Structure 1
Amino acid sequence: MITTTDHNFTYNTPATVTRIAKPRLPIDSASGILDCVGQTPLVHLSRYLDDCSIELHAKLEAANPGGSAKDRPALRMLEHALETGELAPGDTVVESSSGNMGIGLAQTCRFHQMRFICVVDPHAQPQNIAIMQALGAEVVRVETPVDGSFLAARLQRVQQILSDVPNSFWPNQYANRQNPIAHHEGTIREIDEATGGDLDYLFVATSSTGTAQGCRDYLRKHNRHTQVVAVDANGSVLFGGSPGKRLIPGIGAGHLPALAKDQTFDKIVRVSDVDCVVGCRRASAREAMLVGGSAGGVLEVVRSLENELSGKRCVAILHDSGTRYLDTVFNDDWVESSLGVTAATVNQRTSAPALQSVRNAS
């Protein structure tokens, strides 16, 4: 016999003790990191605007595990290709990206044990490239635009890699219908459920136009009265725009993507790179939020329309976090050297009551 002392009493037990394991309660846990894509928070922004009658909410896509809205189409495009047999474990995925889509694809490829090659250009954020590489991606950089477009140069390089690498697959985010479907089935469905279908305006940045398309199609299908405002960049060729210099990634396009052809939205508004910087700085100052470059542009478009939004409920989709733009958008030296705007001017614009440089294109 073995004498055992407890806190309150001593008792004898046989030398051999059979322990009965207690049943464990189930844990509400994702089965893998990709299960965490979606269901991002909606946050009320009560300080960004001067008109307190406007109910502004932000869909924080930076809460996706890869840090942006691009996680959604990256996951859907690749898993759809795996389901249809276009892609198999061990194959190579090749895509062009300014950063966020590349991170989403790198994450999904690493999870499914596939090789990933991402083609970027000089405008890609160094931190985004580092994240892709940490997730196992091979990064190929193009240095010279084709017909004035870095996107065209990236796509040309993608085609070269596809011809050189056996068992390679191009998701083609610029034409793949699974891109807008990911937002149709995810992003806007979540917003619609959260608002009970009662939403006056939706603001969304455009590049491939996948997010804006998926959201617009869902709202029309469900007979919502919501106006979809597409936010484009000055210097973008989308919606009949003229090509020009753009330094903020993730908004606008220098080459018309197939998905964007003949697309229309209730309103199209263009912003400058400086507008995007001002929006990011104002979100930090007013809401204690670090938002990415395109998100700053989206928020400034909302602010530019304050006069017509009085009493309305609005949602702005914010594609990524400002933590990836610390060396650019939030760096006074970069803003002055690259955009020609001093810190004093940015600060003045940040606190000014209205915007001056956004342009309504619709």
Structure 2
Amino acid sequence: MDERGSLRDLKSFEDPRIVPLGDGVYGACFFLMKLLPARYMLERAVESGQLTEGGTICESSSGTFALALAMLAAQGNFRLLIVGDWALDVGLQRRLLALGVELDIVEEPHPRGGYQLARLERLKKHLANRPGSYWPAQYSNPDNPLSYAKVAAQIIDEVGQIDCLVGAVGSGGSMCGIAHYLRLLFPELVLIGIDTPGSVLFGQPGALRQVSGLGGGIVPANVDHSQFDEVHWLSAAEIIAAAHDLHSDRGLFMGPTSGAAVKVARWWGETHPGKTAVALCPDEGHRYVDTVYDESWVKANIGGWSDARRKRPLTVTSPTENMAGWSRFGWGRRSLVEVLSQTMSSK
């Protein structure tokens, strides 16, 4: 790297604060969790010669991974192209542009894979027209889950015995990576993934989703379904209400998926007294000031959100059911194919 800096200059922003939330529940609260896998992937690319100083990084992202790459690109003297969609809100777009990012916003979803697949197809065209550019490929790059070893070590150092890990699932990197390392010491660890209706990650029919940061229109290679013991689906209203609750009850100003993770972790802690649960809280709430934390926006876009207070999940018999509110399914550390074939054959 030149005198502008190193990819490690932002390393101190990667580590979470471990916050006690009562009754054996802790939050692993990040400033921006995606900084860790982004830096790790870029460092490996530099070491292997896939990315050189002044080179171009091209990636598909609808949120915080784009911001993490932009911050690192500015530090490391790289050019960056991001293919995004509606979830890149105006405020985040302005910040990316200020960091010198070239943005390409996809306006229409793919008929089968939604905006996620539409972004990836657009990205492939950019890669073909920019020979020598580097694609981090967050959805399939094995360096994504591998990067989370140090987070698992920190959680163990500060909490000790961990019985349950709860978090939203998007690319699969954080949940599957941290769980893999935790289970080297705690093989009975319960892993609970959080998804939302309309996301195909755990078998729901694909549909437009109202909250970013979890779910997807395609199933990423980094989502290892066989690691999950349970999957919970929360509606957009429930996710947003949970973020507001986390802020008002605990003073933690975090993103919407953080609120959802804490909500589910608290429920698990109440139903398993004496056990310890850790909720992953991926980013702070500043990005969501004009959306999730703006009551007029929420009222206009998420009807009935303030009344979304289901106290416990409804247990369902299949992940393909209509999830009208907070629902849970016993995944049992099975593959997606196993679960779908077994639930279909039992009908």
**TM-score band, normalised by the shorter chain?**
0.7 to 0.9
Aligned position for 2:247: 284
1:309 counterpart residue number: 272
Distance 1:140 1:162 in 2: 13
Does residue 298 (structure 1) correspond to residue 250 (structure 2)? The answer is no
Q: Deviations over 1:170-208 (max 9, x none)?
A: 11000000000111x222121112123x11111111001
- Does the 8 A contact of 2:195 with 2:215 survive in 1? yes
Q: Is the 8 A contact 1:110 1:135 kept in 2?
A: yes
Q: What amino acid is aligned across from residue 198 of structure 2 in structure 1?
A: G
**What's the CA shift string for 1:279-300, capped at 9, x where partnerless?**
1110111101111011122122
Moved more, 223-232 or 288-297: 223-232
Structure having the higher Rg: 1
Structure 1: how far apart are the matches of 2:89 and 2:150? 27
Which structure 2 residues correspond to residues 16-55 of structure 1 after superposition, within 5 A?
A: 33-46=9-22, 54-55=23-24
1:9 is matched with which residue? none
Give 1:73's match in structure 2, choosing from 37, 61, 69. 37
| Separation of aligned partners in 1, 2:49 and 2:130 | 18
1:258 and 1:82 map into 2 onto residues whose CA distance is 23
State the shift of 1:34 in Å: 2.4
Give the match's secondary structure for 1:156: helix
8 Å contact kept, 2:7–2:76: no
Give me the whole-angstrom Cα distance separating, in 2, the residues matched to 1:318 and 1:189. 17
1:85 aligned residue:
49
- AA at the equivalent of 2:256: G
* Most deviating of 268-277 and 73-82: 268-277
- Cα–Cα, structure 1 residues 242 and 119, in superposed 2: closer, same or farther, change >3 Å? same
> CA–CA distance in 1 between the matches of 2:301 and 2:150?
36
Partner in structure 1 of residue 317 of structure 2: none
Match of 2:27 among 55, 58, 77: 58
Partners of 1:173 and 1:291 in 2: CA distance: 23
* Partner Cα distance (1:314, 1:302) in 2: 6
8 A contact 1:303–1:354 mirrored in 2: no
Deviation at 1:35, TM superposition (A): 2.9
Answer yes or no: is 1:103 the counterpart of 2:59.
no
State whether residues 120 and 142 of structure 1, in contact with CA within 8 Å, keep that contact through their aligned partners in structure 2.
yes
Structure 2 counterpart of 1:161: 126
- Kept in 1, the 8 Å contact 2:265–2:278? The answer is no
Is this contact kept in 2: 1:199–1:225, CA < 8 A?
Answer: no
Cα deviation for residue 360 of structure 1 reads: 0.7
Pairs within 5 Å for 1:191-340: 191-196=155-160, 198-260=161-223, 262-340=225-303
The one-letter code sitting in structure 2 at the alignment partner of 1:81 is: A
Write the distance in 2 (CA, Å) between the matches of 1:353 and 1:252.
22
CA RMSD for the aligned pairs?
2.0
Q: Alpha carbons of 1:268 and 1:217: their partners in 2 closer, same or farther (altered >3 Å)?
A: same
2:254 maps to amino acid: V
3-state SS in 1 of match to 2:264: helix
Instruction: Tell me if structure 2 keeps the 8 A contact 1:236–1:242.
Output: yes
In 2, the alpha carbon distance for the partners of 1:32 and 1:82 equals: 13
Superposed CA offset, 1:332-356 (max 9, x none): 222222122264x25xx3xx75567
Q: TM-score, normalised by structure 1?
A: 0.82
Aligned counterpart in structure 2 of residue 128 of structure 1, from 75, 84, 92: 92
TM-score by length of 2: 0.85
The Cα offsets for residues 218-266 of structure 1, whole Å up to 9 and x where unpaired, read as 1222344321111111211112222122111111111111222654312
Aligned to 2:320: none
CA distance in 2, matches of 1:31, 1:132: 18
Contact kept in structure 2, 1:109 and 1:115, CA below 8 Å: yes
**Conserved 8 A contact 2:25-2:269:** no
Whether the 8 Å CA contact 1:271–1:301 is kept in 2: the answer is no
Whole-Å Cα distance in 2 between the matches of residues 320 and 114 of structure 1? 24
Instruction: Give the conservation status (yes or no) of the 8 Å contact 1:275–1:296.
Output: no
Percent of counterpart pairs with the same letter? 29
Q: CA deviation at 1:102?
A: 0.5
Point out where structure 2 has 5 or more consecutive residues left out of the alignment: 1-5, 315-324, 331-347
Instruction: Kindly tell me the number of residue pairs found equivalent between the two proteins.
Output: 314
The 1:119–1:353 alpha-carbon spacing in structure 2 relative to 1, beyond 3 Å, is same
